[in-house]
């Protein structure tokens, strides 16, 4: 996760960063926090890079305060969580206007901060990250669970969902590298990448998907596919193959 701390008090920056590092260690969460001494400094970064999971904003800062910064951010991004930290209760009503995640009064109690971060992490885990592909008709954004499998066709591939096919102008090896960070995608055959979450049954030389579609399974891929299938469904007694 990546957090931004925007506060013009250096001591407050360091305290928040210390708390975040402590929470990251306790929760086992990879975390990077970046410090900004003013709203203007953060805005400069924001225009070029918006890949943050949480913005922690002080309210009373220099020429532009945190509430004004939040209002500007909300004109371009309605989803990013914003946490206000301040020594004044008078701003709480304004926090609702910019859909703030929460409002913490200084001095910050780390127990309250940790509880908030726990909830944020849980929410992020429930929201599946989308993958971006370039199809022959333009960009395509899909969550991994929507992808059933990919099939190689010469120097291009076909991406299959439950009911739609998309042509991708790239080789399957390139797609395998792109999906390497998604452990559910496996090379089950030289011509196929499959989403293990949609496998219903593993036979000797083929896979059966949840809707009955069948894919070839090479001998070299059998062990890896079996291990991934068991890991995904270790809490199930069995899954019934389609008729």
Confidence (pLDDT) at 18: 95
Residue 56: closest CA among 97, 77, 86, 23: 86
Q: What is the mean pLDDT of the chain?
A: 86
The terminus-to-terminus CA distance of the chain in angstroms comes to: 43
- Tens of pLDDT, residue by residue over 37-63, are 999 999 999 988 888 889 999 988 877
3-state secondary structure 102-149: EEEECCCCHHHHHHHHHHHHHHHHHCCCCEEEEECCEEEEECHHHCCE
Query: ∠ at Cα 196 (135, 232), nearest 5°?
Result: 140
ω into 107 cis (within 30 of 0): yes
Element (H, E) at 4: strand 2-6
**Residues 2 and 52 sit within 8 Å (Cβ to Cβ):** yes
Task: State pLDDT tens for residues 127-175.
Answer: 567 889 999 888 998 888 889 999 999 889 999 998 889 999 899 999 9
State how far the Cα of 155 lies from the Cα of 171, in Å rounded to an integer.
5
More confident: 113 or 145: 113
DSSP state, residue 187? E
Token output for 202: 């593993």
Give the integer Cα–Cα distance in Å for 203 and 77.
47
pTM over 0.95: no
CA distance 43 to 73: 9
Q: Is the pLDDT of residue 176 over 80?
A: yes
Residue 230 pLDDT greater than 70, yes or no:
yes
Angle at 220 between CA 217 and CA 221, to 5 degrees: 50
Percent pLDDT > 90 in the chain is: 47
- Predicted confidence (pLDDT) at residue 233 exceeds the cutoff of 60: no
State whether residue 21 is helix, strand or coil. Answer: helix
Least Cα distance to 73 among 85, 61, 81, 62 occurs for 81
pLDDT reported for residue 42: 93
Residue 58 · residue 66 · CB < 8 Å = yes
From the centroid of its chain, how far is CA 120?
Answer: 12
pLDDT at 128: 61
Query: pLDDT tens across 199-217, in order?
Result: 989 999 999 998 899 999 9
């Amino acid at each position: 996760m990546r957090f931004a701390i925007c506060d013009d008090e250096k001591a407050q920056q360091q305290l928040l960063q210390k708390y975040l590092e402590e929470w990251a260690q306790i929760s086992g969460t990879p975390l990077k926090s970046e410090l900004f001494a003013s709203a203007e400094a953060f805005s400069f970064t924001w225009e070029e890079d918006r890949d943050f999971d949480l913005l922690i904003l002080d309210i009373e800062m220099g020429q532009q305060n945190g509430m004004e910064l939040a209002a500007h951010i909300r004109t371009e991004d309605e989803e990013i969580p914003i946490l206000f930290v301040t020594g004044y209760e008078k701003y709480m009503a304004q926090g609702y206007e910019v859909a703030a995640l929460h409002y913490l009064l200084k001095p910050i109690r780390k127990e309250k901060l940790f509880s908030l971060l726990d909830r944020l992490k849980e929410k992020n885990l429930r929201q599946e990250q989308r993958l971006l592909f370039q199809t022959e008709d333009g960009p395509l954004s899909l969550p991994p669970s929507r992808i059933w499998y990919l099939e190689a066709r010469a120097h291009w591939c076909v991406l299959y969902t439950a009911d739609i096919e998309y042509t991708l102008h790239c080789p399957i090896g390139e797609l395998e590298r792109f999906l390497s960070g998604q452990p559910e995608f496996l090379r089950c055959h030289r011509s196929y990448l499959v989403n293990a979450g949609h496998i219903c049954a593993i036979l000797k030389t083929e896979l059966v998907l949840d809707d009955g579609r069948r894919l070839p399974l090479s001998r070299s891929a059998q062990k890896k596919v079996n291990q991934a299938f068991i890991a995904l469904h270790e809490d199930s007694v069995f899954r019934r193959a389609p008729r």
